[in-house]
Amino acid sequence: MRIFVLDKNLKPLDPCHPARARELLKKRRAKVFKRYPFTIVLQERTVEKSVTHSHRIKIDPGSKTTGVAVVVEETGRVTNALLISHRGQQIKHSLYARKALRRGRRNRKTRYRQPRFLNRNRKTGWLPPSLETRIANIETWVRRIRKICPVTAISQELVSFDTQALQNPEVSGIEYQQGELFGWEVKEYLLAKWGRKCAYCRAENIPLEIEHIIAKSKGGSNRVSNLTLACRKCNEAKGNQPIEQFLKQKPDVLKQILARAKAPLKDAAAVNATRWELYRRLQSTGLPVEVGSGGLTKFNRQTRGIIKAHWTDAACVGSSTPERLLLRGIKPLLVTAKGHGTRQRCRPDKYGFPVCHAPKAKFFKGFATGDIVKADIPAGKYAGKYIGQIAIRFRPSFLLLLPDKRFDVHPKYLTTIHKADGYEYHISK
């Protein structure tokens, strides 16, 4: 893993080896500019007196995780890698919760008001927030890397998933237009598929209800591959439990149901829906943008004998991939999108009644929730030195969040080392 370097005018230079960065810091010829990704700024050198090489940002977009690699075009050395974890599903759940809360309030207070859901106009290219956040995360990190590294080009994997072939690899011709329910109604199709029996208790000759294998409240869909039949007793007993938990005493039945159910396609749909919009926004940076297919990425990776991972896939994107990629010593930075808090001031209970109100202020004594701090506690039960994130309270008692524990700490023992920027960071092992 290389260290990003800036000159004294904050212009990007070539990344350097960690040993060289330690030497520069020790001799006070450089200072720490940023903690994540680790960046130093030189005290004397300028870009005019330095030789820089062309770097390329390579992106492997994904629904849950996106791989990013920075490659020196002349030598093929991968200087840095990132794994960006998106929060699209979390946003979707939050919007559904808000929607349910507002609908309940509207029914209680303005039940006779005319509906207004058809008078909203969306701009061209609008994407749902759960998809928009994926593009915004990649845009953010492309912009950040360009500020600290001499980037001259971008490569993006522009892949399209055939969702019907993912379900049935042998689909062809007119079968693409007919679909799984061609000639059936949903209930009749499920009766034939599950043998007119309850999928859980195998009861027959009783009324059967349509049941979601993965409950809708847990992200399940209405696709027929997520539907089964259950008697009233089993349907109520399962509720929205995961099927693995409900059938943990019946492993044979669980195995049979999961074998008939098919994998959800929402991840493939998310990549398909955002790929061209991401390409357009990368073009707006003014840099040349190269695109490559998923098949080319796989060919590049296999011919070079590289193990599969999101960041190694990113390094192999496009026809610009060098014949030899130097990956030794690379530990990708794990970046998890966390958002910037909430603007909601009134916190309601599940019935919509206010419970508490959040203060308007976002800072207290110079700290904000999400800051990464160094704590030096001189005495007490938690005496010692720690590095972690904080959650502020509007009194001199903050919550210090560590991987294995959390406890209260006074702000006088804290020093900020990285301001909250909407992301959480870890170095892969």
In terms of domains, do 29 and 86 share one?
no
pLDDT attached to residue 115: 76
Q: What is the domain range of residue 274?
A: 53-105+128-161+270-337
Q: Supply the pTM of this predicted model.
A: 0.80
The CATH number linked to 408 is 2.30.30
Same domain, 375 and 296: no
Q: Please indicate, yes or no, if residue 169 is contained in any of the structural domains.
A: no
Nearest in space to 35 (alpha carbons), one of 364, 420, 332, 417: 417
How many structural domains are present in the chain? 4
Residue 123 forms part of a structural domain: no
Same domain, 36 and 67: no
| Domain shared by 62 and 133, yes or no | yes
> CA separation (Å) from 254 to 214, 245, 248, 263, 420?
13, 10, 8, 15, 44
Tell me the two tokens of residue 314. 């990113």
CATH code of 276's domain: 3.30.420.10
Q: Which of 337, 361, 381 is the last residue of a domain?
A: 337
- Quick one: 367 and 385 in the same domain? yes
CA distance 146 to 405: 36
Same domain membership, residue 141 and residue 10: no
- What the block records as the tokens of 336 is 């998890």
pLDDT of residue 202: 87
> Do 191 and 256 share a structural domain?
yes
Decide if 24 is inside a domain: yes
Query: Residue 372's closest CA among 348, 349, 403, 350?
Result: 403
Domain termination site, one of 219, 241, 260: 260
For residues 282 and 378, state if they share a domain.
Answer: no
The answer to whether residue 96 is domain-embedded is yes
Same domain, 276 and 297: yes
Render pLDDT for 319-332 as a digit per residue (tens, 0 to 9). 999 999 999 889 99
Residue 116 is assigned to a structural domain of this protein:
no
The CA-atom distances, in angstroms, between 395 and each of 346, 357, 362, 399, 411 are 20, 16, 13, 11, 9
Q: With a cut of 70, list the residues of the chain below it in pLDDT.
A: 160-185, 262-265
The tens digit of pLDDT for each residue in 58-85 reads 999 999 999 999 999 999 999 999 999 9
The reply to whether 6 and 154 lie within a common domain is no
* Whether residue 277 sits in one domain with residue 256: no
Co-location of 2 and 47 in the same domain: yes
